[in-house]
Amino acid sequence: MKLKFSAEVQKALENQWPIVALESTLVTHGFPFPDNLSIARESEDAVRASGATPATIAVINGAIHVGLSDAELEFIAKPHHDYMKATTRDLPVCMARKQTAGTTVAATMAIAAKAGIKLFATGGIGGVHRGVADTWDISADLTELSRTPVCVVCSGAKSLLDLPKTLEALETLGVPVIGYGTNELPAFYTHTSGLKLDARVDTPAEAASVLKAHAAIGAQNGILVCNPIDASMGLPKDEIERHIEAGLKAAELQGVGGKAATPFLLKYIVSATQGRTVEPNKALIRANAVLAAKVAVEYAKT
C-alpha cells in the first residue's frame, strides 16, 4: 500500500512526534457543506493545539493521502455525488479506478497502522446493527479492531446500533474497551448507555500506559478509549431512541441498507430533532480529537 504523506505528517514521522489520525467520511458523508469543512478544520486545529500533528486520511484520485493540505481538505468537503464511502475492502477498487473517497473507521485504522500512527480520533464506531439476525449487518469496523493495533478514541458506538450486541462482539474479538472518566459505554448522542465496562482510565497518562502495555505484549488488535459526550450537550436517551426507531422504519420503507444506512439514519435524526444533534455531534468530535492528541503526547514520552 503506497501512501502519500503531507509535509506536516512526514516531518512528524521523521522526528517521532505525536500524530493523530482523523477519518474523512465525516467530511465526505457525515455533514453537509460547509459544516463538514469547518468541523474538519476545527478537529485538526484542536489536535495541533494539544501538542500533536493531525493526519486526516482520505483517498484522492486513487492516491491514499495521510495528512491533507487545506486545499485538499476543501476538495473532499465540497459536494460530489461520485465520492465513495470506502471501508477496507473498497480501497483496491477505489485506487485502481482513481476515485476519491472518504475513509471509514476501518479503512482509516488500516492506513494509520501502515503509516505507523498509533492514535486515531473519530465520533463513534460502527458495530452490530439492529435486526442483525435478519440482515447480518455488522460493520467492518469491528473486524478491523480485531486485527489492527491502533487506539481509537471515540464516543462509543453510534446510538443507532444494537449496543449490547456490539459490546459483546468486541469482547469476543478481544478488543479492550476502556471508559475515559466513565464506567459505562457512552452512546454517542447520550452520555451513558447503561452498559457497564470492565476498565476505566481518568487521565491521558493512564490511557497511554495501557497502550504501552498493549504494545509490550505484542497485541495485534486495536483498543477503544470511549470518551462520553459532555452531559450538558447530550440529548435525552428516550428521545433519541424514539427517533432511531422511526428512522429505521423509514430506511426499511425506502429500501436503504448497507453502507448507506448509517448516513441515512444520521440525517434522519438531524431532521427529526430539528438540528439539535448537530452541535453535540461536532462537540464530541472535537473533544475526541483533543483527548487523542493528549494521549498521543503522553505515549510519545514512553
- Annotated catalytic residues are 23, 158
CA distances from 156 to 45, 258, 281 (A): 23, 20, 12
CA dihedral 48, 53, 56, 57 (to 10 degrees): -170
CB 211 within 8 A of CB 118: yes
